């Protein structure tokens, strides 16, 4: 929910960051004929919401750290299980 709200806010900022400019040029030729041309340019100005960006980066770092910790825990548990299984095998195969 938090990420989707952040993304929505970022998109809203981008949508509102449009810049519209109109330019009108009037020319008159040698016969006295006047011609008017209007050009409208709309440019989207990228806006960066640094707060939202920082939150997303932190969320990504937290997710990576959680994944690393989970992998370490799984590796530890696997190592412990293998060690325990090895000891059991040694007990069962030990010559008496």
pLDDT of the chain, 96 residues: tens digit per residue:
456 666 666 665 555 555 667 788 888 888 878 888 888 877 776 777 788 888 889 999 999 999 999 999 999 999 999 999 998 888 888 765
Is there a single domain that holds both residue 43 and residue 1? Answer: yes
Is there a single domain that holds both residue 43 and residue 74? Answer: no
Q: What is the DSSP string of 20-85?
A: EEEEEEEEE-TT--EEEEEEEEEEEPP---HHHHHHHHHHHHHHHHHHHHHHHHHHHHHHHHHHHH
Is there a single domain that holds both residue 39 and residue 70? Answer: no
Residue 39 near residue 22 (C-beta atoms within 8 A): yes
- Number of domains forming the structure of the chain: 2
Is there a single domain that holds both residue 60 and residue 72? Answer: yes
Is there a single domain that holds both residue 6 and residue 41? Answer: yes
- Domain boundaries, position 37: 1-47
pTM: 0.40
């Amino acid at each position: 929910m938090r990420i989707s709200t952040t993304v929505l806010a970022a998109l809203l900022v981008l949508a509102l960051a449009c810049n519209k400019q109109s330019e009108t040029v009037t020319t008159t030729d040698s016969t006295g004929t006047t011609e008017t041309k209007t050009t409208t340019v709309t440019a989207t100005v990228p806006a960066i919401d640094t707060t939202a960006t920082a939150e997303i980066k932190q969320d990504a770092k937290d997710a990576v750290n959680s994944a690393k910790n989970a992998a370490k825990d799984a590796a530890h548990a696997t190592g412990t299980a293998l060690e325990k299984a090895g000891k059991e095998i040694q007990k069962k195969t030990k010559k008496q």
